[in-house]
Amino acid sequence: MTPYNEHKADVLKRLATSRQSGLTSEEAQARLTQHGPNALAASKPLPAWRQFLATLKEPLVIILFIAVLLAWASAGYDFFVRHDPSHGMAAVYESIAILLLIFVNAVLSFWQAKSAQKSLDALKVMADHHAKVLRDGDWLTVPATELVPGDIVSVKTGDFIEADVRWLHVAELQTNEAHLTGEAEPVQKQTHALGADVQIGDRTNMGFSGATVTHGNGLGVVVATGMQTELGKIATLLDQVKDKKTPIERTIARLTTKLMMVAMVIVAFTLLVELLKAYQQTGSLSFAALAESLSTAIALAVAAIPDALPAVLSIVLTVGATMLAKNNGLIKSLNSVETLGATSYIASDKTGTLTKNEMTVTRFYANGASYVVEGDGYEPVGEIIPDDEADTPGFSRFMMAAVLNNEAAIQTDDEGRSRPYGNPTDVALVVMGHKFGIDRDTILSKDQAQDIDIIRELPFDSDRKMMSVVIKDGDQYQVLTKGAPDVILAKTDAILDHDQLVTLPAGQTAVEAQVNRFAEQALRTLAVTLRDIDEDLALHGSTAELEQHLTLLGIAGIIDPPRPEVRQSVTTLHQAGIQVVMITGDHAVTARAIALKLGIVTDPSARVVEGKQLEAMTDEDLFRLAPSIRVYARVSPEHKQRIVRALQRHGETVAMTGDGINDAPALRAADIGIAMGINGTEVTKDAADLILLDDKFTTIERSVRAGRTILAISKTLCGMS
C-alpha cells in the first residue's frame, strides 16, 4: 500500500508514530542509524588528471601509441643493428610528431570538457536546510539531513519540503512541484486518501522533497527520506545511465578495427615477401635478414596509420563547437557536436521549452461577448480585440473584479523586464488588467475619482475552490468571487449579458458552451463574479453567506502559450527528416492542443499516451508503439527515460530537451541531452551535452544544421583515411 492510497491514521500506525508527540529522540536516532542521513548519495568528482587520461583511451589514440612503439622499435634497429643513425632519427622524429598530435587531441578534448563543465551538485545540496519537527512532544528545528520516516513536520509559506511527506492537516496549502512534474502551476493539497494509483502530479495528499510551499501551511508525516524519496529516485535514474558512444565514436571504433586488420596484413605480407627475397638471394635466413624484413614491415604499418586523424577531427569538432557557441549553444563534449548532425528524433519537454512557462489570459468572455487578448507572457503589452466588432459591450466590471480579487503583482526589474510575484493564475489576470490599463494599486489609491477599499479577504481553499474579497466602493459594499466555473455556477443567480441581468438557468447554456469552447482550446477557465451586499453582511457574514447569490461577470481563458518561434523550427526540423516528440507532465488535452498549435501533430484527434498507460506497458509494448506516437502526457521522469530508450532501440539518434530536474534522467539517457541555460536547473545542465544559452528552441534547429555540416566533414575525413 502506498501512502497516498492509505488513510492518514493508517500511515501513522504503520510508521509507529504519534501526531500529538512525534517520535522520541531515542527512536529518531535509531531510525537515523537504520535509514541513514536524509541526503542523496554523493559521488566523488573525477580528478582533473583522470579526466585528461580518459581522453587517451580512445581506440584510434591507442593505435597511435602502438605506432609510436613500432617507430621506436624501428629506430632502435636502425641505431644498434644497421648503424644507420639518419634513418633511425627519421623514425624518432615521426614518433615525436605522433606524440604531439596525441597531445594536441587530448588537450582539445580536455579543454572543451572543462570549459563547459560546471560543478552542478545542486541536487545533492541540503546541508544548509532545516526542518521544523515534533519530537518528544516538543517542536524543534533540526538539520534536514536528520529527518527520518515517522517524523511529524510542519511547513509554512516559503519553506522547502525536505522529505516526502503524507499530509495530515492542511490550511490553504499549495506547493510548487515543478522539479518533479515540470509544471509551474502550484498544486492545491488535501489530506484524504486517494482511491487509485495516480502519477506524481495528481498525488494531492503528498508533499515531495525539493518542493516549495507557495501558500498556506501544513502538517505531515515523513514517509521517505534520502534516496527513497521521489527526488532520490531521479538521482538513481541518473546514476543508472551508462555512458553512451556517439556516432563518430562508433565510426572511429569501426575504422580502428579495420586499420588494425590492414596493419596486421601489411606486416605479415611484407615480412613474408622480404624473407622470400632474402632466401632467394642467400639461400638461407639469418637474424639480420629477419630484422631487416621486420623493420621494413613496421615502417609500412606505421605509414598506413592516419596519425593526424584524431587531431584533425578534434580541430573540426572544435570549429563546430565554436559555430554552436555563436548560435548560443554551449557544447560540453566535442563528440556531441557531430551527434547533433546525426539526430533523427528530438523529444522535448513542454513547459518552459516549447512553451513560455508564463500563464497568460489569451481569451475571455464577459458581458455576453468574447474577446481575444493579444500578447504572450508577463510583458503587459497587447490589445484586447472583440471576436465580433459589431458586438462590444463593456467589460470594465469584469476587469475590475479580476484585478481587485487578486494577490499577485508584476514589477519591472533593472533590465526593464516584467517579473511576476504570486500565483501564476493570478499573475495572468494582473497582466490582463495592465493591458486594459488598470492595476490593483492604482484602483485602491486615494487620488482616484473612485473611493474603493478592500475590507475583507477570503483566501482560496481546496474545499470551496473559490477566493473572495469584500470591497467598499463609496457607500456600496460588494463581494468579488472567482473560482472554477462549475463551482461558481452552482452559487450563481444571474449572468451579466449586455448590461442586463439574465437569471439562471436561462443564460447558463450559453456560458457552459463558452467554457467548453475554451476547454477545446486547452484553456484553463476561471469565472469572475460580483454581488452587492449590505454593511452588516460585509463586515460580519460568514464565507458561506457571502459566496452565494452571485452575478457572473465573465470567464477568463488561461494557458501557458507556445513560444512563437517554435512552430517554424518544428516545420524546418520535419523538412530535414527529424521527428519532434512532446513529453510532458501536463494533462492530455492541453498537451494535444499545444502539439497541434506547434505542428508536432496535424490531426486534432491524434493519440496521446498518458503515464498510467505507460505503467501498464512492457518495454516490448512501448518499443512497438513508440515510432507512431508524438505526444506523451502526465508522465514521470522514469517514463521519459523509457521513451528515449524505446526510440534508441529502433536505431534512432535521440536528442532530449528539458529544463527541470524531472527531465535530467532522460537527458542523460539520450544520445544528446539539451538543457535550457537561463531557466534550466543546475542538475539538468549537468546532465546535458548541449546548453542553450538563450533558452530558444530555434537554437536547436540551428545547432542541428551546424552538426550536420560537421558530420559530413567528419565522415569525409574518416572515408579518406
Question: What is the C-alpha separation between 698 and 707, in angstroms, rounded?
Answer: 14
DSSP element (H, E) containing 637? helix 637-649
Is the CA virtual torsion 123, 124, 127, 130 positive or negative? positive
Angle value at C-alpha 484, between 483 and 487, nearest 5 degrees: 95
Cell (9 digits) for 535: 454593511
CB 659 within 8 A of CB 679: yes
Question: Phi and psi at residue 410, in whole multiples of 5°?
Answer: -125, 140
* Amino acid identity at 184: A
Q: Where are the beta strands (DSSP E) in 336-450?
A: 345-348, 360-366, 369-373, 384-386, 409-412, 418-421
β-bridge partners, 527: 483, 555
Query: Could you write out the DSSP letters of every residue in 35-82?
Result: H--SSPPP-PPPPHHHHHHHTT-SHHHHHHHHHHHHHHHHHHHHHHTS
Cell (9 digits) for 162: 525536505
The SS3 assignment for 139 reads strand
* Residue 532 known to be catalytic: no
Write down the catalytic residue from 151, 307, 349, 689.
Answer: 349
CB 676 within 8 A of CB 658: yes
Q: In what order do the strands lie in the sheet with 345-348?
A: 329-331, 690-692, 672-676, 654-658, 345-348, 579-583, 631-633, 609-610
CA distances from 644 to 302, 583, 648, 649 (A): 42, 10, 6, 9
Give residue 123's Cα distance to chain centre.
14
* Amino acid identity at 479: V
Query: Could you write out the DSSP letters of every residue in 215-274?
Result: EEEEEEEEEE-GGGSHHHHHHHHHHHPPP---HHHHHHHHHHHHHHHHHHHHHHHHHHHH
> Please, is 390 exposed, middle or buried when counting C-beta atoms within 10 Å of its C-beta (0-12, 13-18, 19+)?
exposed
Question: Phi and psi at residue 438, in whole multiples of 5°?
Answer: -130, 155
DSSP element (H, E) containing 481? strand 476-483
The catalytic residues are 349
